[in-house]
Amino acid sequence: KFTPDGLRRAKRLKFIGHAAGSVVAVVHEDVFDAGITVTNANKPLAQSTAEAAVAFMLAGAWRLKHYASRLQAGGWSDNHNETVLGLQGKTVGLIGYGEISRHVIRLLQGFQVHFLLYSRHCSAEEAAALGAELCSLEELLARSDIVSLHSTWTPRTEGMIGRSELRRIRDGAVFVNTARAAIVEEDALLEELRTGRFSAVLDVYHQEPPAASHPLLQLPNVLCLPHIGGFHHGFKSNLGAFVAQDLLRFTLGQPCLGAITKETYRRLTPK
């Protein structure tokens, strides 16, 4: 990590590029007072995570785990008495505003969904330009057919989705988490999911990997994935290339597309 002491010694250092997401693990906040440009590869990484989030929304809305398990057990479907939530025309609530949320909105355009957005960093005008309705967290949870978590894990957001918030999720909804598990109170989530009121698709956990006996992995209404958001080969191979292109832009005196400011640094995941 570039510590304050290291930065004082690095008299010629002008550019730090991180071929991943959060730069908190590699640079101290003092870097922004040293006149050093810091960039990361969050933009291509966000595209991959957004694609995963949409895939998880579809998997939850179509109850893919339920029907795959039934078929493996020798059963079949009954389209006369059963149905699925689906995505077409539904209300999708996005918690958190950033690159991932913007890509999710773009990817879901063909489904004619209504977007709700909760964020402390987005104005109503910005939300409207994206085609989303800015609202409170409580309203989003109560109105959404699909709730997708995209907030950054910070001391302020840790445990933000607790028992009272989870109880506001409507019956039959789908809760998707591709962000960080620490934003959600795990015991409260387990309590609500055990009632069967709503389902969940989870890609992140408080302990990774979770034990094979973890109760979340045993619930029939929960689809658990092993933190695969960001796996997409094309996007993954582009992370280093994106940072290298930013280095080229820097040497040419052009703006860096992945530039991090002190303000955005303070909103990044610390781990």
The reported pLDDT for the residue numbered 263 is 86
Q: Given a cut of 70, is residue 68 above it in pLDDT?
A: yes
Q: What is the mean pLDDT of residues 203-228?
A: 96
In which element (H, E) is residue 175 found?
A: strand 174-177
3-state SS assignment for residue 141 = helix
Nearest to 176 by CA among 258, 108, 82: 108
Q: Name the catalytic one among 125, 208, 233, 263.
A: 208
Q: Which of 18, 102, 150, 180 is catalytic?
A: 180
Tell me the whole-structure pTM to 2 decimals.
Answer: 0.89
DSSP 209-243: SPPTT-GGGG-TTEEE--S-TT--HHHHHHHHHHH
Q: Is 180 a catalytic residue?
A: yes
User: What average pLDDT score do residues 25-53 get?
Assistant: 91
Per annotation, catalytic residue among 227, 232, 249, 267: 227
Which pLDDT tens digit goes with each residue over 242-254?
Answer: 999 999 999 999 9
Q: Is 186 a catalytic residue?
A: no
Cis peptide before 255 (omega within 30 of 0): no
Beta bridge partners of 39: 17, 259
Residues linked to residue 27 through DSSP beta bridges, in sequence order: 2
113-139 pLDDT per residue, tens:
999 999 998 999 999 999 999 999 999
| Annotation marks residue 227 as catalytic | yes
Say yes or no to pLDDT of 21 above 80: yes
Question: If you write DSSP's letter for every residue of 7-60 in order, what string do you get?
Answer: HHH-TT--EEEESSS--TTTB-GGGGGTT-EEEE-HHHHHHHHHHHHHHHHHHH
Instruction: Give the pLDDT band (50/70/90) at residue 232.
Output: low
